């Protein structure tokens, strides 16, 4: 009897990867108490926040072949929603988070409606232009620190309680957000909507010919991705207790693309692994030299050349699994 692809041994090995990743993340605080707890919690919290941003980008880049070079704008918008509201005395997460998501979604809707009318390199350039526009807007906000950014008075409160002040509590809140983002993206990918997005990547002419309004599907996907990245921005502002225009630079957008490519395009848990690999390598290499990118660059080239499918591709080949 032949087993369907969804239930074969390759599928089981593939399913084990996210289970192991989330289990390790859940157990880390208990291990951290044996050493530099504050440092480890801060570092891995940052990894998980950027994993959410990488997940959101993988949704449109890995599955939709939409190379957005302005994706970090949503990260900054989510962060500035927290910073500006906090500066005006509104510190409750139940207000800040919906505003951060709404602002990110609105920016994605407007810019996506224009950007998606272009293709290829033109799409890359127009998303870059919109990202830089958001960056220079943040720089011009002199009342909120301008180019220097702004320091928050503290982390967001929940029902008026300072629950996120505790690093471990905030760590698990971020882990819960990452798990929710992963679950949402996974549900989207396997849905009819996700199949249309993937079909548009493979053969847009055929998908349009059989009656799918690709522009609408891609725009909805773009808005979902931007909103999720806004969630990452909300969490990043709380983790650092600081927001800056540097969150929105094209270099930051490039780093998000590198995280997705490093982990493996079109593999959601690959985006998480790519974000972890990028940030942990950055932390380790920067301990040796400030020119760590001179070492990281050749490493990335080697991964692209010899590890087809990124780190997830290498894991699949080592485990003899199927697709990611």
Decide if pLDDT at 223 tops 60: yes
Give start and end residues of each alpha helix (H) in the chain.
9-32, 37-61, 72-87, 93-115, 120-139, 167-190, 192-202, 204-209, 214-240, 250-263, 268-286, 293-306, 310-319
What average pLDDT score do residues 90-114 get?
A: 95
Note the pTM of the prediction, 2 decimals: 0.90
Lowest mean pLDDT among 32-36, 90-94, 96-100: 32-36
Distances (CA, A) of 224 to 109, 133, 142, 246, 285: 9, 21, 30, 23, 34
Residue owning tokens 């847009």: 204
pLDDT digits (tens, 9 = 90+) for 139-155: 999 999 889 999 998 88
- Nearest Cα neighbor of 111 from 71, 82, 84, 80 is 71
Q: What is the set of domains in the chain, with CATH numbers?
A: 5-319 (1.10.3470)
Each residue's pLDDT tens digit, 194-216: 999 998 888 888 888 888 888 99
Report pLDDT digits (tens) over 250-276.
999 999 999 999 988 888 888 999 999
Band of residue 2 on the pLDDT scale cut at 50, 70, 90: very low
Q: Across residues 95-124, what is the average pLDDT?
A: 95
| Range from 70-79, 113-122, 162-171, 182-191 carrying the lowest mean pLDDT | 162-171
pLDDT band at 102 (very low <50, low <70, confident <90, very high): very high
């Amino acid at each position: 009897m032949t087993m369907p692809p969804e239930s074969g041994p390759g599928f089981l090995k593939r399913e084990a990867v996210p289970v192991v990743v989330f289990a390790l993340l859940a157990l880390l605080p208990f291990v951290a108490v044996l050493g530099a707890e504050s440092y480890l919690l801060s570092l891995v919290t940052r990894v998980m926040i950027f994993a959410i941003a990488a997940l959101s980008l993988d949704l449109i880049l890995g599955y939709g072949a939409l190379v957005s070079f302005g994706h970090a704008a949503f990260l900054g918008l989510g962060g500035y929603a927290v910073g500006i509201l906090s500066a005006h005395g509104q510190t409750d997460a139940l207000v800040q988070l919906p505003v951060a998501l709404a602002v990110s979604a609105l920016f994605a809707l407007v810019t996506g409606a224009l950007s998606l009318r272009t293709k290829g390199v033109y799409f890359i350039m127009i998303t870059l232009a919109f990202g830089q526009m958001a960056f220079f807007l943040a720089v011009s906000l002199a009342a909120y620190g301008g180019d220097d950014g702004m320091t928050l008075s503290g982390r967001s409160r929940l029902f008026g309680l300072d629950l996120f002040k505790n690093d471990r509590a905030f760590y698990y809140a971020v882990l819960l957000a990452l798990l929710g983002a992963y679950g949402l993206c996974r549900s989207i990918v396997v849905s009819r909507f996700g199949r249309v997005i993937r079909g548009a990547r493979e053969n847009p002419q055929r998908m349009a010919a059989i009656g799918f309004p690709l522009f609408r599907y891609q725009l909805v996907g773009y808005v979902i991705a931007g909103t999720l990245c806004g969630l990452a921005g909300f969490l990043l502002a709380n983790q650092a207790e600081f927001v800056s225009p540097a969150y929105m630079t094209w270099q930051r957008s490039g780093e998000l693309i590198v995280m997705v490519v490093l982990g493996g395009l079109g593999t959601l848990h690959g985006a998480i692994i790519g974000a972890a690999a990028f940030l942990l390598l950055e932390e380790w290499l920067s301990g040796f030299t400030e020119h760590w990118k001179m070492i990281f660059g050749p490493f990335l080239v080697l991964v692209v050349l010899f590890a087809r499918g990124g780190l997830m591709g290498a894991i699949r080949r080592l485990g003899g699994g199927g697709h990611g």
